[in-house]
Amino acid sequence: MKSWIRWAILHGVPSIYLGRRARRGEPLSEILTNSHAGQNPYQFGDRIRAQGRLVRTPVTWVTADYEVCRTILRDKNFGTTPPDALNLPRPILRLLRATDLKLANPVEPPSMLMVDPPEHTRYRKLVAQEFTPRAVGRLHDRIVEVTDELLAGLAARPQADLITDFARLLPVAIICEILGVPRQDQDYMLELGHAGAPLLDVGISWRTFRTAIAALRASEEFVAGHIARLRADPGDNILSELAVSGSLTMPELKAIATLVAGAGFETTVNLLGNGMMALHDHPDQLDLLRAEPDRWPAAIEEILRFDSPVQLTSRTALSDTEIAGQPIGGGESVALLLGSANRDPAVFADPGAFDVTRVNAREHLSFSSGVHACLGASLARMEGAVALSALYERFPELRLAGTAERRGLVNLRGYQRIPAVLGLPAASRTA
């Protein structure tokens, strides 16, 4: 019953309300209800931007303006928007708090995504050491090794699904090594993360919510057992250090492990899939990268800008303030359309064009900004550059073998399936 009540408050009622507004052509509701069928949310961001830099809706403020998004992300007067911070009637908020499922949910405290300083600062300091550029740099050879293993496995097959058989397997292998998760458990972790991803959307169905919550419960049980094993027999990984240090409670440990695991592969899978399709749709850009492979790191930035793996986030004003000439009251929230902000023509010339030579592509907001900037950004960039460059080097004749399928999610934008004919492999890489 608790789960159903929580779904009804967070998803059931909003789904009905947003659906009505979407049918009337309200662009934010069209985005949130996925009425664009996962194809092109940017047209709605353009419409919102045309209404103003910061637009008031009956539910929330919303912006697709790059500078407004970046300003709010960096403004200490704005905090995260966990469920109990929503601008709801007090009886509803009390009911929401009473139905807290006490799970390691990435969209609820104590997840780092949903807490502000000083709690966020404490959590981040404990984890950040594993994701510094220097620490990530030490993973380069391992990323190349795993990539080569996966591509060698594909070479024996005439066709493959580039998501299931490649894009999903590389990041989960690396993040599980960071967390000390045994290789035999990687597929299980991947399945749980995939099932929980819809929780980042608004208005999901009861069936989807129930499946996601079941995945969270299973994930929490697995993580608790894994932490117990690491305490008894620590390894050379960040979770072992945290588990034996005593610096975090068990709920905090489970929340951090679950978030790092999910964020560590879900967004990177989307980066890889979105990049494959962008290059398929723009073969001239792929030809350029093949001729000038040193451009791959810059190409990853353009992929992130052009089709962001994470489309939106929200921030809540901690006190009365003013942004872009608009007064925002304390407690009011702002939906930040990061993917659309990455296509703001005031910042990115010809923003709908995919151009791997774009000089300011790295200014995108796909990894957020401010205190909540993505810890794993350096790792995702490296995995993207290594994986995509190796894929197209190994299989120069690669082409699609059917229609690529979107995941159908709003926030985590990516592909469920990319069927491909691989063609004859080139000589094995020696890098």
CA-closest candidate to residue 430, choices 13, 147, 129, 135: 147
Per the structure, how many domains does the chain have? 1
CB neighbour burial string for 150-183, b if at least 16 within 10 angstroms, e if fewer:
bbeebeeeeebbbbebbbbbbbbbbbbbbbbbee
Residue 431, pLDDT score: 41
Residue 35, pLDDT score: 62
Output the six-digit token pair for 380. Answer: 């995702």
Structural domain includes residue 429? no
How many H helices and E strands in the chain?
A: 18, 12
Structural domain including 223 reads: 2-99+111-421
Euclidean distance between CA atoms 309 and 339, whole angstroms = 8
Q: Is 306 helix (H, G, I), strand (E, B) or coil?
A: helix
Output the six-digit token pair for 256. Answer: 């951090």
Residue 13, pLDDT score: 93
Output the six-digit token pair for 268. Answer: 């990177």
The pairing of strands 61-63 and 333-336 is: parallel
Residue 39, pLDDT score: 64
State the pLDDT confidence band at 427, using cuts at 50, 70 and 90. Answer: low
Q: Among positive and negative, which fits the CA dihedral 266, 381, 143, 403?
A: positive
Structural domain includes residue 76? yes
CB 176, CB 195: distance < 8 Å: no
3-state secondary structure labels for all residues of 14-46? HHHHHHHHHHCCCHHHHHHCCCCCCCCCHHHHH
Structural domain includes residue 426? no
Tell which phi-psi region holds residue 317, choosing left (phi > 0), alpha (psi between -120 and 50) or beta: beta
Euclidean distance between CA atoms 87 and 110, whole angstroms = 20
Q: Which stretch of DSSP H or E encloses residue 2?
A: helix 2-7
Euclidean distance between CA atoms 227 and 206, whole angstroms = 31
Structural domain includes residue 225? yes
pLDDT tens profile 331-387: 999 999 999 999 999 999 999 999 999 999 999 999 999 999 999 999 999 999 999
φ and ψ at 318, to 5 degrees?
-80, -20
Angle at Cα 224 formed by Cα 122 and Cα 96, nearest 5°? 70
Query: What CATH number has the domain bearing residue 176?
Result: 1.10.630.10
pLDDT tens profile 293-313: 999 999 999 999 999 999 999
Q: What is the mean pLDDT of residues 111-122?
A: 93
Residue 430, pLDDT score: 42
Residue 63, pLDDT score: 98
Structural domain includes residue 390? yes
DSSP string, 346-407: TTSSSTTS--TT-TTGGG--TT--GGG--TTHHHHHHHHHHHHHHHHHH-TT-EE-S--EE-
Alpha helix segments (H runs only) across 129-205: 133-137, 140-155, 169-179, 186-196
Structural domain includes residue 265? yes
Question: How does the average pLDDT of the chain come out, rounded?
Answer: 92
What are the distances in angstroms from CA 313 to CA 2, 186, 234, 334, 365?
26, 28, 36, 9, 11
Query: Against a cut of 0.85, is the pTM above it?
Result: yes
CB 326, CB 54: distance < 8 Å: yes
Structural domain includes residue 430? no
Structural domain includes residue 143? yes
